[in-house]
Amino acid sequence: MGDIPTEVLTAIKAAAKNSWSDDRQMQDYYIESECDSYLAVVEMDFGDALPFRDQMIARAAEFSDLWEDRATYVRDEVDGYAELQNHPADVPGEVLDELKRKAIAEHYDFSSQGDALREGIRHFRYVRDTRAKIAPIRDLLVRMENIIGEECYNDNIQNYSSWGVWEGEGRSFRYPVTVLRGGKAEKRKFRFDDLLAEELVTGHYKFGANELSIYRALIKIVDMLESDYGLKVPRS
């Protein structure tokens, strides 16, 4: 423990005695753990984040009195800063710059900014890949769903004419598709051409508390027919 400043070691021992006054074994464990964590912080490789070393350590001190927690916080900060320096080859520069700007504007520490950037990149790739996959077969998917949606029948519906004469039981109907658009659920029966690919793929049938992801299922069926049966689907 010669590498640990006297004031730091004294504070660690005092905290150990205060937390485990009747347990010498736990005091020793606490002291060893805290000393190891202190050394982990001061000996940490900050890499490109070195200019922010003092800032990170100061924030860690605000975060917790425990060196174990501080070490975890600083490591997460270093990793978060490194994440912000990444430049994935498949993400356009202007997209990456906007994702970074948004992450920095909305989050205080580097770890949260890094997490936000990572999630932004994941979402960009999801949207890009979804659009690339769905665009060539979009019309096919919509037509297949329409066929399925039109085949709904309820024999409990009581039918009456406009003049009140009962015309029998049962009626066919078009089952509505629920899509997620702008974070909100919308029911659709006929128009889908205004939906983005990533919105269309959320289309599902709601059955009480249950859902059937009809568009995702149809995509899997097309994939299965192509891979297992050699179906050739025209792709524009």
93 occurs within a structural domain: no
**What's the domain count of the chain?**
2
Q: Looking at 31-35, 109-113, 122-126, 231-235, which range is the least confident one?
A: 231-235
177 occurs within a structural domain: yes
Domain membership of residue 184 as a residue range: 134-229
Please list the residues that pair with 184 across neighbouring strands.
181
110 occurs within a structural domain: no
Domain end among 85, 117, 152: 85
For residues 60 and 40, is the Cβ–Cβ distance under 8 A? no
Name the band, by pLDDT with cuts 50, 70 and 90, for residue 152.
Answer: confident
Domain shared by 146 and 206, yes or no: yes
148 occurs within a structural domain: yes
149 occurs within a structural domain: yes
Domain shared by 224 and 147, yes or no: yes
Q: What would the pLDDT profile of 181-211 be if each residue is shown by its tens digit?
A: 988 999 999 889 999 999 999 999 998 889 9
Q: What would the pLDDT profile of 79-131 be if each residue is shown by its tens digit?
A: 999 999 999 999 999 999 999 999 999 999 999 999 999 999 999 999 999 99
Please list the residues that pair with 205 across neighbouring strands.
212
80 occurs within a structural domain: yes
What angle in degrees, to the nearest 10, is found between the helix axes of 53-63 and 67-85? 140
* Alpha carbon distance 205, 213 (integer Å): 7
One-character DSSP codes across 60-85? HHHH-S-HHHHHHHHHHHHHHHHHHH
Long-range pairs for 218-227: beta carbons < 8 A, 24 or more residues apart: 218/141, 218/144, 218/145, 219/133, 219/134, 219/137, 219/141, 221/144, 222/137, 222/140, 222/141
Confidence (pTM)? 0.78
Q: What does the pLDDT read at residue 231?
A: 87
